Amino acid sequence: MSATALLVHEHRQIERLLGALDRLAGQAAEAPGDAPALAPALAEAVALLRGYADRAHHGKEEDHLFPALAAAGLGPGEGPVAVMLEEHEVGRRELDAVADALADLRAGAPGAGEDLARHAAAYSALLRDHIEKEDAVLFPMADEVVDAGALAAGFAAADAAAFGPEGRAGWERRIDALVAAARGRASAPA
């Protein structure tokens, strides 16, 4: 197994989460009257993106992968690692904006559905592009230079802290449930 295989697996899960966010945010913009029904699923999408995509996934990259790359002479002050770190920060701010818009939507603020859809689309586009760069450029580079065994040990410790008693399986079941709920809503008759 390559050093970055677990991160690639998480990228596919994050893309599924982004698909659910895209669908739900689109519905909130189109039908603000549905906001009370959509709010719990949108809140779950934000919680999963914060916990799974940011804390667990970006956490492993920032605390383990990027330092291993730095030890091999790549970054973190410049080059691809600096770009990835900056994009993680921009993504955090954009996800906070999605959460703020969701709070406004729940409070019945006018225009909150459009705000939510706009920030969700910006976040989703940023993260999809970020993932593509990691898969195509950074991870193949990492697989050449980092020690897979040492990285796996760091990842296991980080996952235990990030996922807690639910474990990875519990978090990924929540992703499955959200994706199914978002699909069900999208295909439900009007």
Q: Which is nearer to Fe ion, 94 or 134 (CB)?
A: 134
Q: Which stretch binds Fe ion (CB under 5 A): 19-27, 106-114, 127-135, 139-147?
A: 127-135
* Least distance between Fe ion and beta carbon 19 (Å): 17
Among 87, 134, 159, 172, binds Fe ion (CB under 5 A): 134
Decide whether 134 or 172 has the Cβ nearer to Fe ion.
Answer: 134
CA 175, CA 164: separation in Å to the nearest integer?
16
Sign, Cα dihedral of 104, 115, 14, 189: positive
Contact between 19 and 163 under an 8 Å Cβ cutoff? The reply is no
Q: Which is nearer to Fe ion, 91 or 113 (CB)?
A: 91
Min CB(42)–Fe ion separation in Å? 23
Which single residue brings its beta carbon nearest to Fe ion? 134
Binding span for Fe ion by CB under 5 A among 23-31, 63-71, 130-138, 158-166: 130-138
Cα 55 vs. chain centroid, distance in angstroms?
9
Hey, what are 22's tokens?
Answer: 């895209």
Q: How many residues bind Fe ion (CB under 5 A)?
A: 1
Which structure tokens are listed for 119? 């920030």
Nearer to Fe ion, 119 or 130 (CB): 130
DSSP letters spanning 85-134: HHHHHHHHHHHHHHHHHHHHHHTT-TTHHHHHHHHHHHHHHHHHHHHHHI
Which residues make up the interface to Fe ion (CB under 5 A)?
A: 134
